[in-house]
Structure 1
Amino acid sequence: MAAGFVLGTAQLGLAYGRTNAVGNLSDEAALGLLEAAYASGVREIDTARAYGLSEQRIGEFVRAHGVRDLRILTKLSPLQDLTPEAGEADVASTVRQSLETSLANLHLDRLPVLMLHRPDHADAFGGAVLRELRRWREKGAIGALGASVNVPKELAQVMTHRDFEHIQLPYNLLDRRWPAALEKDAAGRAFHVRSVFLQGLLANPQTAAWPDVPGYEPAALARSLEIAAERLKRRGVRDLAVAYVRGQAWIGGCVVGVERPEQLAENLRLFEQPPLTADEIALVREALPPVPSALVEPWTWPPVKAA
């Protein structure tokens, strides 16, 4: 089965993304997006303690509507207040505070999926973070444990732990960083991917604010993307980007953030289109030039230059 749509909600709590055009959403606008998503059949929502008001707003939706068929995936606090020398008791207390806050914010008595926001916490503090999370899972307050990763090195780190049943990573049709054997290695784990549109750049490549990193030519890349979409008879680059990711058998869900109901409706229409076949995926890989790794790592991008 092709990967399904998972509502990303960083935009519900922060002015998130390079192409964000609306800034911080109001409470009314955030609730409206959640209502529209639910009415459209979306049942998986991705959030995090670090996403500003996101958890609280999702919780208000849960409280107001009493919906219990949502699968909410959240992430542990980045634990930035802990020093490297923190002891077991301090670590356990900080982890507990994060979990209790998430449960209260979301109006839940159990977190279906709880991920590490920073994968190095899997081994940090002598394993104290993971030990506390196991205790919470054993008493039923956490369903599945997981981790959110950014680079292959982090993926390799968390894959050594069988505790992590759910992995989230950035992936799109330009990203060639991940190991070719990932599908085989994915056995027994669930994988969600984010950055399908590369912070919006692949949504409108001809007009995108491409980052100023060496090793590629934005106009030429944008044209190559359009040619690939035309060749495969897709409805533009956005359609190609979604179909490419959904064609990867190891991917179970695509986390996509939206700012407006119209965006949500358009994205859901894209998820109704057929995914690419293996042959079509190979064609896309051949048609698109290699890009520098910095292009698919948004956290390394220089800030947008003022006009």
Structure 2
Amino acid sequence: VRSFDTAPGYGSELILGEFISANGLQNEVKILTKIPNVENLLDYENTIKRSTESSLDKLGCPIDVLFFHNPADSVLLVKNQLFFEDLLKEFPVSTSGVSVYEPKEVDELRDYPSNLAFQFPFNVLDRRFEQVEMLQGKRYARSIFLQGLLASPNGLRQDAPEELLNLQKKYHEILVTHDIRPVDFAISFVVNNDIVDYFLVGVDSANQIKHILNTDNIKQQVIKFLGKYTFNIDKNLLDPRKWN
């Protein structure tokens, strides 16, 4: 593992930086971090510069992709393109990016002339981004387990909508019928899709990392077969921000 996704709001940049320094990984790791919400800030340029400086100080290494955490802020890329071009020259940051939730947030940046990376939710239940062109740069799939729903029969948090809890039961019954492990299928479905360059997962322990790294790649024909299963689901249920 040499790529890490973080953000100032996660409180992990300093810890990650200490790990990188202690293991001499400054020239090996790929770091993805975020610009905090700057919506409606008049002095957003200085806020972004200060945040970038702070992230670099804590991490102690270059940043591969600097994402807008709030997709609404990405309008600034178009409004003030020169500022962001200069930002990449002033700081050791390779690429700008946007963390999105809806396909339209990608479409709105279709004409942006420079490389632009995207983070987007994608899994066997949420395939909205399959029809979206993201040609500018790297594409990172997140929410590949959909808050645990796709990882295990009991993985979804219990305050999730009842419709999702019922769907979880049906989904895992299908996998059991075909003798497929949930984590294996969830990861294989994502990595075998042409719109994905990388996928992001959150872990709580070394054992979870080992489990993910040791997953079996499910054969393409099995993925296509199971991918034909359709689940009638309100798209709002695919966004955990709306689970209340």
TM-score where L is the length of structure 1: 0.71
Deviation digits for residues 258-300 of structure 1, max 9, x if unmatched? 0111111111112xx22441x4333223224232112210110
1:198 maps to: 146
RMSD value, Cα: 2.4
Deviation digits for residues 71-123 of structure 1, max 9, x if unmatched? 1111112226x53xx1xxx2221111011011101012x32211111222222
CA contact (8 A) 2:121 2:142 kept: yes
Return closer, same or farther for 1:220/1:44 CA change in 2, 3 Å cut-off. closer
1:32 maps to: none
- Provide the C-alpha distance between the structure 2 equivalents of 1:217 and 1:188, rounded to a whole number of angstroms: 34
Return closer, same or farther for 1:115/1:237 CA change in 2, 3 Å cut-off. same
- Provide the C-alpha distance between the structure 2 equivalents of 1:104 and 1:152, rounded to a whole number of angstroms: 34
Pick one of 274, 279, 286 that aligns with 2:217.
274
Three-state SS of the structure 1 residue aligned to 2:19 is helix
CA contact (8 A) 1:221 1:288 kept: no
1:225 maps to: 172
Alignment of 1:238-277 (within 5 A): 238-270=183-215, 273-277=216-220
Three-state SS of the structure 1 residue aligned to 2:200 is strand
Return closer, same or farther for 1:254/1:101 CA change in 2, 3 Å cut-off. same
Three-state SS of the structure 2 residue aligned to 1:168 is strand
Bigger RCO (CA 8 Å, 6+ sep): 1
- Provide the C-alpha distance between the structure 2 equivalents of 1:207 and 1:105, rounded to a whole number of angstroms: 33
- Provide the C-alpha distance between the structure 1 equivalents of 2:231 and 2:159, rounded to a whole number of angstroms: 17
1:77 maps to: 36
Amino acid at match of 2:14: Q
- Provide the C-alpha distance between the structure 1 equivalents of 2:214 and 2:124, rounded to a whole number of angstroms: 19
Amino acid at match of 2:30: R
CA contact (8 A) 1:246 1:275 kept: no
Amino acid at match of 1:174: L
Structure 1 residue 248, shift from structure 2 partner? 0.3
- Identity rate, percent: 27
Structure 1 residue 247, shift from structure 2 partner? 1.3
- Provide the C-alpha distance between the structure 1 equivalents of 2:24 and 2:119, rounded to a whole number of angstroms: 28
CA contact (8 A) 2:95 2:117 kept: yes
TM-score where L is the length of structure 2: 0.88
CA contact (8 A) 1:221 1:289 kept: no
